[in-house]
A and B are shown apart, each in its own frame.
Chain A
Amino acid sequence: MDVVWEWFQWLNSEHGIKLTIFYDEWDRNRFFGGIWTTIHLSLVCMALSIVIGMGGAWLQMSKFIWIRRIVQGYIQFFRNTPPLVQLYFFYFAVDSALASVTGIEGGVFSSYGWAVISLSFFAGAFNVEIFRAGIESVPKSMVEAADSLGFTSFQVFCYVTMPLAYRVCLPALNNNLINLIKTTTVAYAIAVPETLYISNQIWSDEYNVPEMMNVVWGVYIILVGILVTIMHRWEKSIRVPGFGN
């Protein structure tokens, strides 16, 4: 590794391209720490947003109109407001409201915790719509066929509706999860030490804005690229001839 680090040092001294994150141990540690924060923030939010999406899609099939209205209200609220405003709302308004109710001092959740909650609800709102559209795309006649073979409604859901719905959903879910990775950068605003926040600290200390900007592009292109590859593999592996394409 030392050869690589030395090469970046040489790049700086010879050409003035200052990538301290590769040869300065302090910068390097905090920078890769930032990427790691972006990755696990993304993964946790993806998982939670999928759970929220499934729960919401399930609630939208409820026979109680007010349950469907609450879910619809949630979706509209989170789809039609900026994610940054949502994050501030949780971090400042909800946090202090919760603090005064519970009497906990110094914030109920950390900034990371609020970023997880806010972004999960943000992406979850889209997932509810995606999953619902998937479930609705399964023809009623298919459900009847399963019915008349003696399947219970739960079995119909598990063996017919779900497997067909998620094949229909996957491309839209894919887009939404990519969008979620990109949106994690708003956590910058409440000082979650993710990639953009750390990069900003580094370029303030080292005066290397152009270099770090390019590095930040690269990081997000690689992260999104990895997700896209995984999702495409998955889409391909569950593709069946003559259905959904």
Chain B
Amino acid sequence: MSTKTDWSADQPIVSIKDVYKSFGELEVLKGINIDVMKGEVICIIGPSGSGKSTLIRCINALNDINSGSIKVKGMEVNDSELDKLELRKEVGMVFQQYNLFPHKTALENIMMAPLKVLNQPIKEVEEKARQLIERVNLVGKESSYPGELSGGQQQRVAIARSLAMNPEVMLFDEVTAALDPETVNEVLLAIKDLAQKGMTCILVTHEMGFAREIADHIYFTDRGVIVEHGPPATFFTEAKDPRTQEFLSQIL
């Protein structure tokens, strides 16, 4: 298929070029360009309604785009011939509202996709799932239902559930925004652990301290455009655009 070009590690694993997206009359993304190298962690920040969720959802084809190009490991996402399964094997996504399957236990939530989507043997899948439970620090909660877990615990199960598919890239859309303050940290720790082990991460977040600590690069969006971007060391101290300065002054 023409949609898949070869990808090698010296090229961006996610490459977003001149992306436009509208919902009806409403233009939400107006020419977005972002390149992410393998193993990089990037944070997208910006006021609510600026199109952050839309952008991140376009990367795994939950939203389609009007023009431009998004490539994940050489796969053109904006192509009607795209094999969505191939894309979704590479890209994991964690949502603000966790979205765990409420009728499945924590362990079953993690096992479901490898079992049903990848048809892997159950023994292997379960072993892997138990390792993931350990990795997100939830040993003892294997057979709890989502309704019996705190927000922070549910979100960590959600992270493990995505990891079970062995993705190359993880997307996080304000994954701590719905949490009680005291459980935010445990989720951030789980993400930090991932990032330090070399996972490519694209995060939308309002946790500026966290962004500063783990991001390789920070993008500030407002009304569908990237206003300013840079590595955290300079981004927070040398923001030039008044919109960035105003946003940072409100949130810091």
Contact = CB atoms under 8 A, between A and B. Distances in A.
A25 interface: no
Interface string A58-91: 0000000000000000000000000000000000
A18 to B, nearest CB: 54
Interface residues of B, number: 29
B96 to A, nearest CB: 9
A167 B103 contact: yes
Contacts of A148: 60, 62, 88, 91-93
Contacts of A149: 88, 112-113, 117, 161-162, 165
A90 B67 CA distance: 57
Given A150-B85, A241-B145, A159 B102 contact: no
Contacts of A141: 95, 97, 99
Given A141-B99, A144-B62, A167-B103, A150 B88 contact: yes
Contacts of B113: 149-151
A159 B88 contact: no
A166 B107 CA distance: 22
A167 B103 CA distance: 9
A163 B109 CA distance: 14
Contacts of B240: none
Contacts of B85: 150, 152
A161 to B, nearest CB: 11
Contacts of B117: 149-151, 155
Contacts of B101: 142, 145-146, 159-160, 164
Contacts of B158: 145
Given A145-B100, A152-B85, A243-B102, 5 more contacts: A141-B97, A150-B88, A150-B165, A164-B103, A241-B147
Interface in B84-124: 84-85, 88-89, 91-93, 95, 97, 99-103, 112-113, 116-118
A240 B103 contact: yes
A242 B99 contact: no
- The DSSP consensus for interface residues of chain B is mixed
17 contacts: A141-B97, A144-B95, A145-B95, A150-B84, A150-B89, A150-B118, A150-B165, A151-B117, A163-B103, A164-B103, A238-B103, A240-B102, A241-B148, A242-B145, A242-B146, A243-B103, A243-B146
Interface in A127-153: 139, 141-142, 144-152
Contacts of B112: 149, 159
Interface in B140-155: 145-148
A41 B112 CA distance: 40
Contacts of B60: 148
Interface of B: 60, 62, 84-85, 88-89, 91-93, 95, 97, 99-103, 112-113, 116-118, 145-148, 158, 161-162, 165
Nearest to B96: A141
Contacts of B92: 148
A188 to B, nearest CB: 42
A160 B100 CA distance: 10
Contacts of B148: 241-242
Which 6 A-B pairs rank lowest in CB-CB distance, beginning with the nearest?
A: A242-B147, A145-B99, A150-B88, A243-B102, A149-B113, A150-B117
Interface in A216-245: 238, 240-243
Contacts of B103: 163-164, 167, 238, 240, 243
A148 B88 CA distance: 6
Contact of A155 (B62, B99, B116, B165): B116
B147 A240 contact: yes
Nearest to B93: A148
